Structure 1
């Protein structure tokens, strides 16, 4: 597999399958999601959570929506808030499975593919933006400076390897 450039992908590219901590049993579970450009109907229809350890399962369509505002006729307008770029899954808000506490702060990933992109970014000695000089939405440009620092490279790579083996 060819390494992915962290400057060509975004966190939202990894939201179709998010490894999370089950809120019932604290074991590894899965959120089947959608990409960030999915329609409201796709989100309602496809997003679901399931835990293989305890059997807890829910569909996003069966959870309450948030009241955004009341229109001029006093009718409530409801919808969903996606929590992007945080150590929780965007749909249900469950903690992601891959959270790495470091002396500098928290490093997290939605799934193993996301973690591998971050790992590749840390390993790269020469980080090229593939012509995307001003793009600030990519993973590589959004990582904290301490993640990109060469003095933290070995330390972070050891922690990432440990996180990959966590079951």
Structure 2
């Protein structure tokens, strides 16, 4: 099977399993997520956080919601905000495990599969454009410009390899 290409997938394709830094022990932990089209009920039921090192765990349903607004009749409307396209997990806001500080800026990934797609984008010398609708949402279009520059290729690939073996 051919690996996913950065110009055909989006960051949100990788939020079903997000490797994060545990806020208690600072070791690798896991957020089990759902797709962006999941219903609120499905999010509340299925989204979870677990750290195998310190046994800290959370269920999204047990965390506070954000106040969106108050109606003219004084009723408060609460909900959840997904934090997409940022170096934090979309559901709880914990820092992602795969954060790579480079001389040019921060490069991050939700999980190892996401990191592999970014790596294949960097390795790919020819990055064809596709006629896929909403192409600007692809990972390749969301990466900083310095990631795609040929002179940074070897440097970034070394940093990614190091990040894959981070304990």
* Match of residue 142 from structure 1: 142
Superposed displacement of residue 138, structure 1: 0.5
Aligned-pair Cα RMSD in Å: 1.1
* Match of residue 32 from structure 2: 32
- Distance change >3 Å, CA 92–CA 134, structure 1 → 2: closer
Superposed displacement of residue 133, structure 1: 7.8
| Unaligned ranges ≥5, structure 2 | none
Superposed displacement of residue 102, structure 1: 0.2
Q: After superposition, where does 1:93-132 map in structure 2 within 5 Å?
A: 93-132=93-132
Q: Are the equivalent residues in 2 in contact too, given 1:8–1:129 (CA < 8 A)?
A: no
- Distance change >3 Å, CA 132–CA 47, structure 1 → 2: same
- Distance change >3 Å, CA 162–CA 80, structure 1 → 2: same
1:34-77 deviation line (CA, Å, top 9, x unaligned): 11111111111100000000000010000010110001210100
Q: Are the equivalent residues in 2 in contact too, given 1:104–1:146 (CA < 8 A)?
A: yes
| TM-score normalised by structure 2 residue count | 0.97
Counterpart Cα distance in 2 of 1:127 and 1:81: 33
1:8-57 deviation line (CA, Å, top 9, x unaligned): 10000000000000000000000000111111111111000000000000
Q: How many equivalent residue pairs?
A: 167
* Match of residue 90 from structure 2: 90
* Match of residue 11 from structure 2: 11
2:155 paired with 1:155: yes
* Match of residue 69 from structure 2: 69
The 3-state SS of whatever aligns with 1:18 is strand
Which consecutive aligned stretches of 4+ in structure 1 deviate over 3 angstroms post-superposition? none
The 3-state SS of whatever aligns with 2:13 is helix
| TM-score normalised by structure 1 residue count | 0.97
- Distance change >3 Å, CA 151–CA 166, structure 1 → 2: same
